[in-house]
């Protein structure tokens, strides 16, 4: 379960339907070219929170079928609809996904008892393991060290996807739970996260930039910090260019430049502008 995971992009056609052929190509590109260890399916990058349960199931099924057992698969099943999350947890467990993940329930201000009940309900409904998806800047949910401790009392909850810039908390969590899996969630902060001892990383940019991310991982672990920083610098030049051009659209356009049918984003996300397409070409040529 350790290593580098792409938060998988999903290809949609112009009408916003899942483009199966394109999705399969993205999976293959991740495995064959980016050399990732695993795929995190149904996350923010997968535009998951805009999809119906049927569409989510279809994506989980296609990805498993294309990836086979070549890489580790994590399914993000979290949803404000807890019954749906449970149904998806059963579905992906049946398909053979290696672990589940679930975003902290958002929008309503759920109290911690409610959040804890959400996680235990999902993971106790199946014979599988759970990785907490913590992304406070989008959910507004900030879990504390003590709250992570309480969640980890359930042994089936095995880790955290930590998408936050709070490195004090990351250090505390790492020290407190040496046997839990911690994944870095912000690609632009991979170097310091690896220095603090994360077990892996899950991110959107690894769909195209997996090779550099692997170098950062290896260089930090070998103690070659200067070299690692050079690679992180190039990586972050790329990431800031991509963010300023619209991150998901740019990642998809770069994949298209590489011959992958990455399609469009789904509404309410905007379609491509001419400028975005031209700029993505430049970014692709500059970094890949």
**Window of 37-45, 58-66, 100-108, 147-155 that interacts with ligand MN9 by CB under 6 A:** 37-45
**CA gyration radius for the chain?**
18
**Window of 40-48, 49-57, 67-75, 104-112 that interacts with ligand MN9 by CB under 6 A:** 40-48
186 part of the interface to ligand MN9, by CB under 6 A? yes
What does the H/E/C string look like for 151-162? HCCCCCEEEEEE
Q: Which residues fall within 8 angstroms of residue 207, CB to CB, at 6 or more apart?
A: 6, 7, 8, 9, 26, 29, 30, 34, 45, 251, 255
Answer yes or no: 161 catalytic: yes
45 part of the interface to ligand MN9, by CB under 6 A? yes
Own/partner pairs, 54-57, CB within 8 angstroms, 24+ separation:
55/18, 56/88, 57/88, 57/91
185 part of the interface to ligand MN9, by CB under 6 A? yes
Contact 32, 74 (CB under 8 A): no
Q: Which residues fall within 8 angstroms of residue 275, CB to CB, at 6 or more apart?
A: none
Q: Provide the token pair at 254.
A: 């770069």
List 82, 211, 234, 247, residue binding ligand MN9 (CB under 6 A): 247
Answer yes or no: 133 catalytic: yes
Task: Looking at residues 141 to 180 of the shown chain, list those that interact with ligand MN9 (rule: CB under 6 A).
Answer: 163
Q: How far is the CB of 240 from ligand MN9 (least distance, A)?
A: 9
Q: How far is the CB of 164 from ligand MN9 (least distance, A)?
A: 11
**Window of 13-21, 38-46, 166-174, 278-286 that interacts with ligand MN9 by CB under 6 A:** 38-46
Q: How far is the CB of 113 from ligand MN9 (least distance, A)?
A: 27
Task: Looking at residues 200 to 229 of the shown chain, list those that interact with ligand MN9 (rule: CB under 6 A).
Answer: 202-205
How far is residue 77's CA from residue 94's CA, in Å, rounded to a whole number? 13
Residues designated as active site: 133, 161
Contact positions vs ligand MN9 (CB under 6 A): 7, 43-45, 163, 185-188, 202-205, 239, 247
């Amino acid at each position: 379960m350790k290593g580098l995971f792409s938060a998988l992009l999903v290809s949609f056609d112009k009408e916003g339907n899942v483009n199966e052929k394109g999705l399969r190509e993205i999976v293959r590109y991740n495995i064959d070219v980016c050399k990732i260890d695993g795929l995190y399916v149904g996350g923010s990058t997968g535009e998951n929170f805009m999809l119906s349960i049927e569409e989510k199931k279809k994506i989980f099924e296609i990805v498993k079928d294309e990836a086979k057992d070549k890489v580790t698969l994590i399914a993000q099943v979290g949803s404000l609809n807890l019954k749906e999350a449970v149904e998806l947890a059963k579905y992906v467990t049946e398909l053979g996904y290696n672990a589940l993940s679930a975003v902290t329930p958002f929008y309503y201000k759920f109290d911690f008892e409610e959040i804890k009940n959400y996680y235990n309900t999902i993971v106790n409904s199946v014979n599988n393991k759970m990785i907490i998806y913590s992304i406070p800047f989008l959910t507004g949910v900030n879990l504390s060290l003590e709250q992570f401790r309480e969640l980890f009392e359930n042994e089936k909850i095995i880790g955290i996807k930590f998408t936050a810039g709070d490195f004090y908390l990351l250090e505390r969590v790492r020290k407190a739970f040496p046997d839990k899996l911690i994944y870095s969630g912000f690609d632009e902060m991979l170097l310091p996260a690896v220095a603090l001892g994360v077990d892996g990383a899950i991110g959107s940019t690894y769909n195209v930039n997996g090779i550099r991310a692997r170098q950062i991982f290896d260089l930090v672990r070998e103690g070659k910090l200067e070299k690692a920083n050079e690679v992180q610098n190039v990586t972050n030049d790329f990431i800031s260019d991509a963010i300023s051009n619209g991150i998901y659209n740019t990642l998809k356009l770069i994949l298209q430049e590489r011959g992958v049918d990455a399609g469009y984003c789904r509404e309410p996300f905007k379609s491509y502008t001419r400028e975005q397409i031209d700029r993505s070409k430049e970014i692709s040529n500059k970094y890949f």
